[in-house]
Amino acid sequence: MIIEKLKKANLKGRGGAGFPTGLKWEMVKKSRAKRKYIICNGSEGEPNVFKDGFILKNYPEEIIDGIKIALEVINDSSAYIYLRKDYYQKFKNKLKKIIGRSPIILFKETGGYLCGEETTLLESIEGKKEEPRAKPPYPSEAGLWGYPTLINNVETFYYVAQIAKNNYQETRFYSLSGDVKNKGVYELPVKWTIKQILKKTNNFPRFNFFVQSGGGAAGEILTDKEINRPVKGTGAIIVYNLKKTKPVQLMKKWINFFLKENCGKCLPCREGVYRINEILNKNKIDKKLLEDLLFVLKETSFCPLGKSIAIPFRDLINKIYKV
């Protein structure tokens, strides 16, 4: 049975949260409901995260195979592939051809970055405002239109197909960018460290550097002494030249992104991001005030995306630069 195979392979979701895939499938399968839904999340809105687009371009058959396996396992189900606007335009024709008559609907994202969050994605498909829901209940219990819903990332469905065919080699896809020679997407072992990945791809810097790992704008910052560890989250590695990178400009880049993509639902995130932007645009940065705002964001934001905003800022000002 595929669920047991997923558990044995220890496949975890590749959308960022890393929840055990087999367990999630089992929860939805065992749910008692007259209808169930399966959603392939292809929103991928983080800056410098582009591995799902690579998989959609190069392995569309495997993605659809993974979704079809879920349809077979989860009774009374139908599926959606939720795609970022540009992905929808690029891949809709090829995907529709592969889907054929299977009960799989392509859905074009209605919002932006926040639609990558699973409950916001559900609101989007239901035609509501693109804002996160309170959890619990989780989508596996009450998801799309209140029915149990399985939500997995594009890459996760790709590996479901590999596991079903006994082809899984415990690998994952990494997005490499920044101050590197060979920007791109690489499929390499899950347990490899950032250092191993940079060396294998001929991207290990010959200058003083630091990296941002896991997500895009919300990824953690690591010094060159901290890269003997595996990559978390969405598998992104961004390399920065320590001497050339201007810390305030980098933080402004992050906060401009979060300002643009903020849903505005909760006060801590809405006002916190606005105030951080104000601080960064002053002649002298008030580090104490900045850290206080980051603390509030992390501890009181409504959804995980708001909480994650604090990670790169705190790392950058405490580990890399003296701001």
What confidence score (pLDDT) does residue 322 get? 65
Please answer whether residues 251 and 290 qualify as being in contact, where contact means their C-beta atoms are separated by less than 8 angstroms.
no
Rounded Cα–Cα distance for residues 279 and 235 (Å): 30
Question: Residues 118, 126, 32, CA angle at the centre, nearest 5°?
Answer: 70
> Rounded to 5, what percent of the chain is helix, strand, coil?
45, 20, 35
The three-state secondary structure class of 221 is strand
What confidence score (pLDDT) does residue 214 get? 87
CATH topology of domain 247-320: de novo design (two linked rop proteins) (1.20.1440)
Q: Which two tokens stand for residue 144?
A: 């799309």
What confidence score (pLDDT) does residue 102 get? 97
What is the DSSP-derived secondary structure letter of residue 319? Answer: I
Residue whose pair of structure tokens reads 């701001």 in the numeric block = 323
Domain ranges of the chain: 2-164, 171-241, 247-320
Residue whose pair of structure tokens reads 């001929």 in the numeric block = 202
Question: Cβ atoms within 10 A of the Cβ of 65, count?
Answer: 18
Please answer whether residues 211 and 222 qualify as being in contact, where contact means their C-beta atoms are separated by less than 8 angstroms.
yes
Please answer whether residues 52 and 62 qualify as being in contact, where contact means their C-beta atoms are separated by less than 8 angstroms.
no
Residue whose pair of structure tokens reads 């399968």 in the numeric block = 29
What confidence score (pLDDT) does residue 151 get? 98
What confidence score (pLDDT) does residue 198 get? 98
Rounded Cα–Cα distance for residues 151 and 51 (Å): 18
Low-confidence ranges of the chain (pLDDT < 50): none
DSSP H or E segment with residue 87: helix 85-99
Helix orientation angle between 85-99 and 60-73, rounded to the nearest 10 degrees: 70
What confidence score (pLDDT) does residue 323 get? 56
Rounded Cα–Cα distance for residues 200 and 18 (Å): 24
Rounded Cα–Cα distance for residues 187 and 105 (Å): 28
Please provide the distance, in angstroms rounded to a whole number, between the alpha carbons at the two ends of the chain: 54
Q: Which two tokens stand for residue 193?
A: 């460290």
Rounded Cα–Cα distance for residues 211 and 233 (Å): 14
* Closest by CA position to 212, among listed 235, 196, 191, 189: 235
Residue whose pair of structure tokens reads 């399966």 in the numeric block = 38
Residue whose pair of structure tokens reads 């810097």 in the numeric block = 205
* Closest by CA position to 227, among listed 197, 201, 250: 197
Enter the CATH code of domain 171-241.
Answer: 3.10.20.600
Q: Options 3.40.50.300, 3.40.50.720, 3.40.50.11540, 3.40.710.10; which CATH number does 2-164 get?
A: 3.40.50.11540
Which residues lie closer than 8 Å to 244 by C-beta, 6 or more apart?
179
Rounded Cα–Cα distance for residues 235 and 181 (Å): 18
